[in-house]
Amino acid sequence: MSEGNRYVRLAVFLLAVLFALCVAAQTYLAGMAVLVDAAHWKDHTSFVHVFEFVPAAAFILTFFGRVGGAVRWYSLALFVLVMLQYMTAHIGADAPYVSALHPVIAVAMFWLAAATAMRAYRAWRRGSRA
């Protein structure tokens, strides 16, 4: 594997880890809003803009780093889940049962991000396509 591919694969791994950590932080901010002070909703709704495109960046980098398979498609799935989060957050009273999927999708995003990070780590260390 070329040295350039190695650095791109490292970047994909780091982006997956960053995304998982950001999802955890976002969940914490939601908990702060629900359990401590509703003023934290502003933090929750603002923080997402810091990391919403991280999975899309990882997806694009998989082409440059020649990382295929699960890492590529998990990254794309994570970006789709971010878009679903926006949908469930804004559908509100029109479809409350759909809106209630918002925290469930967050859990799925965290676990998928962790799985992506583990596979991206293997791709980086072994030079495989993952």
pLDDT tens, position by position, 76-111:
999 999 999 999 999 988 899 999 999 999 999 999
Distance CA 58, CA 60 (A): 5
Average pLDDT, the chain: 94
Are the CB atoms for 11 and 64 separated by under 8 Å?
A: no
What's the whole-model pTM score?
0.91
Q: pLDDT tens across 6-19, in order?
A: 999 999 999 999 99
Q: pLDDT tens across 40-55, in order?
A: 999 999 999 999 999 9
pLDDT of 43 reads 96
- Rounded average pLDDT over 27-33: 97
**Beta carbons within 10 angstroms of residue 22's beta carbon:** 19
Token pair 């980098």 in the structure block, residue: 61
Are the CB atoms for 92 and 99 separated by under 8 Å?
A: yes
CA-to-CA dists, residue 8 to 1, 38, 59, 119, angstroms: 11, 40, 11, 14
CA-to-CA dists, residue 3 to 6, 10, 111, angstroms: 5, 11, 30
The closest alpha carbon to 51, from 21, 11, 30, belongs to: 21
Percentage of the chain modeled with pLDDT above 70 = 95
